[in-house]
């Protein structure tokens, strides 16, 4: 019985697309609260893009971290540094403010999972998109990055992969894999 409970805690990766043989295996660095580093093992060279997906929230691009578009990554094991690893610059123009006090009603809603803190309780995922064609960064920025996806896991993954396909520069083979962002 304990084995069943242990297996239920870690969701299995989900693979999408017409070329599942292109899907890399993905591992997160242990102990990182946010996925700053990931290990990707590619069965063949392909263009990679990595997205942070929280069902019901906006999608974020984690790799590549610049505007050059998806990167051709050789087959084999690769360590990727995500956008979460970039050191934020200090903004000295903003005033430091104390957080607002919550009313009893808003605190009660958060405790029940219906109010303000809902996104914090959602499970987050890393979606690695591998393709034989590159992705145009400008199109990703316009059609994928920041777009709020449906609140259910499979619907969110399907929406993100469809949006990514619109940013593809061709009609080549592709695959995507979604893994939990919890180490």
Q: Which helix (H) or strand (E) holds 128?
A: strand 125-131
- What would the DSSP string read from start to end of 56-123? TSB-EEEES-STT--EEE-SEEEEEE-GGGSPPPP-TTSPP-PPPPPPHHHHHHHHHTSSTTHHHHS-
Task: Report pLDDT for 115.
Answer: 36
> What's the structural domain count of the chain?
1
Task: Report pLDDT for 111.
Answer: 40
Cα–Cα–Cα angle for 182, 180, 171, nearest 5°?
145
Confidence bin at 32 (pLDDT 50/70/90): confident
pTM: 0.76
In a domain, 4, yes or no: no
Instruction: Read off the tokens for 42.
Output: 């590619």
The per-residue pLDDT for range 71-80, each reduced to its tens digit, is: 789 999 999 9
Query: What is the rounded CA–CA span in Å between residue 61 and residue 144?
Result: 8
Q: Are 56 and 150 in contact (CB under 8 A)?
A: yes
Task: Report pLDDT for 2.
Answer: 45
Task: Report pLDDT for 117.
Answer: 38
Task: Report pLDDT for 4.
Answer: 45
For residues 25-51, average pLDDT:
89
Instruction: Read off the tokens for 76.
Output: 């084999």
In a domain, 7, yes or no: no
The per-residue pLDDT for range 61-117, each reduced to its tens digit, is: 999 888 777 778 999 999 999 999 876 655 555 555 555 444 444 444 444 443 333
In a domain, 94, yes or no: no
Phi, psi of 76 (to 5 degrees): 105, -170
Task: Report pLDDT for 39.
Answer: 93
Torsion of CA 166, 170, 173, 179, to 10 degrees: -40
Domain that holds residue 153: 13-85+101-180
């Amino acid at each position: 019985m304990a084995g069943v409970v242990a297996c239920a805690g870690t969701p299995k990766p989900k693979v999408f697309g017409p070329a599942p043989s292109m899907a890399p295996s993905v591992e997160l660095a242990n102990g990182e609260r946010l996925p700053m580093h990931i290990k990707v093992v590619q069965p063949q060279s392909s263009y990679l893009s990595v997205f942070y997906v929280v069902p019901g929230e906006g999608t974020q691009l984690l790799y590549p971290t610049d505007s050059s578009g998806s990167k051709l990554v050789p087959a084999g094991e690769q360590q990727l540094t995500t956008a979460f690893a970039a050191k934020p610059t200090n903004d000295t123009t903003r005033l430091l403010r104390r957080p607002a006090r919550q009313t009893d009603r808003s605190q009660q809603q958060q405790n029940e999972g219906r109010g303000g803190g809902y996104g914090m309780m959602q499970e987050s995922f890393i979606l690695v998109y591998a393709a034989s064609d590159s992705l145009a960064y400008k199109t990703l920025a316009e059609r994928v990055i920041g777009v709020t996806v449906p609140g259910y896991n499979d619907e969110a993954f399907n929406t993100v992969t469809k949006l990514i396909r619109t940013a593809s520069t061709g009609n080549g083979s592709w695959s995507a894999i979604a893994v939990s962002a919890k180490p």
